[in-house]
């Protein structure tokens, strides 16, 4: 159904669940995993890239085809929406609560409002 799926992660358990859902529900899709380093991020871009590489290799352990992944800097909402558009994503998958402390799902809500493509939000269990 969807050929290109962008998964936005902030490394939270909820985002991990979103990544797993994308991996299992869209096995034929090309998946790209994105992390945005914001001004108040606990990671530098280099640290975030290392964390992202570990996350992807763990999630796709034993598989030969790993998804693309990238770290960008800026506003989380703006960067997720712009990255999805630039890459040609047909779906964005992300958790609804994270580590930012801006309130439950504030980034996810912003992406849902700003995106022109479908956004699948995943709640914590």
Answer whether residue 12 shows pLDDT above 70: yes
Q: Euclidean distance between the first and final Cα of the chain, in Å?
A: 26
Identify the CATH number of the domain in which residue 86 sits: 3.40.50.620
Write out pLDDT tens, residues 15-62.
999 999 999 999 999 999 999 999 989 889 999 999 999 999 999 988
pLDDT band at 99 (very low <50, low <70, confident <90, very high): low
Residue 22 to residue 5: CA distance in whole angstroms: 8
- Output the pTM of the full model: 0.91
Q: Please state the domain count of the chain.
A: 1
Give Cα 79 distance to the centre of its chain: 11
Burial of 66 (0-12, 13-18, 19+ CB in 10 A): middle
Helix 106-114 / helix 76-87 crossing angle, nearest 10 deg: 40
Which domain does 56 fall in, by range? 4-122
């Amino acid at each position: 159904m969807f050929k290109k799926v962008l998964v936005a992660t902030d490394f939270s358990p909820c985002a991990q669940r979103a990544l797993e859902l994308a991996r299992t529900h869209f096995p034929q899709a090309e998946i790209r995993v994105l992390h945005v380093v914001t001004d108040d991020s606990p990671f530098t871009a280099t640290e975030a890239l290392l964390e992202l590489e570990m996350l992807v290799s763990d999630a796709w352990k034993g598989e030969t085809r790993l998804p693309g992944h990238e770290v960008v800097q800026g506003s989380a909402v703006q960067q997720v929406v712009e990255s999805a558009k630039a890459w040609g994503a047909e779906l964005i998958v992300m958790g609804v609560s994270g580590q930012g402390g801006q309130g439950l799902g504030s980034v996810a809500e912003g992406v849902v409002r700003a995106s022109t493509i479908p956004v699948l939000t995943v709640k914590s269990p």
